[in-house]
Amino acid sequence: MTEVTMVVNGKSVTKSVKGNTLMSEFLREELRLTGTHVGCDTSQCGACVVHVNGEAVKSCTMFAAEANGSEVKTIEGMENPDGSLGVIQQAFQDHHGLQCGFCTPGMVMSAAALLKDNPKPTEAEIRDYLEGNICRCTGYHNIVKAIMAASGQDVTSIAAE
């Protein structure tokens, strides 16, 4: 067992973990942050995306021990301080950017990482960036629209789907 300490959604946590404990497992089972979903465990679906030191990471592709000393943000850390939905979350709700919601945490975390680097992405840039996030409900159209809206762009000319 290895002791790991990291700041998760602004709170410092220290836990003992096995060397092969995946970050996704650690977040869900040790910290009970079950908003991070596991859709494949093989690095394909993107449902498990979180931020580690500000970078979007598929948490099923790293060990918890590798995040020792890191700053981590999960979907639970995306709300506003008053508990209301954050800008991206609200845009997903407003533009029907989800159906079953299983992929949504990963989509929101990936969108946040994209908007940090590219505050006004085009539709093509959003689609390209989300290549690693799979929505099995195939709701991509409204997901892209929600991300454009979250970036402050006018989406009134984009048809609803």
Residues that bind ligand FES (CB under 6 A): 38-41, 43-48, 58, 60, 98-104, 135-137, 139
Residue 158 corresponds to which amino acid?
I
Q: Where are the alpha helices (DSSP H) in 74-161?
A: 87-94, 104-117, 123-129, 140-150
Of the two residues 1 and 137, which places its CB atom closer to ligand FES in the complex? Answer: 137
Under a CB-based contact definition with an 8 Å cutoff, are residues 122 and 115 in contact?
no
Of the two residues 11 and 32, which places its CB atom closer to ligand FES in the complex? Answer: 32
CA distances from 128 to 11, 47, 131 (A): 33, 17, 5
Q: How far is the CB of 100 from ligand FES (least distance, A)?
A: 3
Q: How far is the CB of 81 from ligand FES (least distance, A)?
A: 27
Phi, psi of 59 (to 5 degrees): -70, -10
Q: How far is the CB of 12 from ligand FES (least distance, A)?
A: 25
Structure tokens, 120: 């006004």
Of the two residues 18 and 136, which places its CB atom closer to ligand FES in the complex? Answer: 136
Q: How far is the CB of 151 from ligand FES (least distance, A)?
A: 20
